[in-house]
Amino acid sequence: MKVVFLQDLPGVAQAGEVKDVADGHARNYLFPRGLALLATAAEIERLEARRQAEARRRDQQMEEAQTLAQALQDVSLVFPRRVGAGGNIYGSVPSTAIAQELQRRGFKVDKHVIKIEEPIRKLGDHEVEIELGKGVVARIKVTIEAAGEGEVTE
């Protein structure tokens, strides 16, 4: 019996795959659990339409990520911080602070896509990578500078 798998089953099939399975396995296991449907012409058409819609959505997301990466290319962020002995700052500049500053400037960037090994704790210029999509990486410059007397720091 030919079935269309609705979910991934490790070692068996991926979602959207059409496979031949034993009749009993389909009737007693796959169908009752909602893991597969009988592979009729209508189901196969629906599956193909879903694949095309998914491909269009992926292409649109990639295009948006590339546009955002292009816009972020010239962005430079400056964070004034109080400085202790040895040029170390009090506290740090984590990915959350970078994401908030980018959002304040009108860029929609989630803190989870900002790739820094650990929060920045030194004065100076730092290059930070933002992974916007598969193979789409933007690099921004983050500068940590000593705060003046009247400047508010976080």
For residue 149, the model assigns a pLDDT of: 54
Hey, what domains does the chain have and what are their CATH numbers?
2-66 (3.40.5.10), 69-146 (3.10.430.100)
Quick one: pLDDT band at residue 152, thresholds 50, 70, 90? very low
Question: Number of H helices and number of E strands within the chain?
Answer: 3, 9
pLDDT higher than 70, residue 154: no
CA distances (Å), origin 42, targets 37, 47, 123, 150: 11, 9, 62, 69
pTM of the model: 0.66
Query: Across residues 123-144, what is the average pLDDT?
Result: 89
For 92-128, the pLDDT digits (tens) are 889 999 999 999 998 888 889 999 888 888 888 999 9
User: Strand order of the sheet with strand 18-20?
Assistant: 18-20, 2-5, 36-38
**Residue listed under structure tokens 């040895």:** 86
Strands (DSSP E) found in 6-154: 18-20, 36-38, 76-81, 88-93, 114-115, 120-122, 124-133, 136-146
| Cβ pair 139, 74 in contact under 8 A | no
- What are the φ and ψ backbone dihedral angles of 130, each rounded to 5 degrees? -125, 115
Torsional class of 75: left (φ above 0), alpha (ψ -120 to 50), beta (otherwise): beta
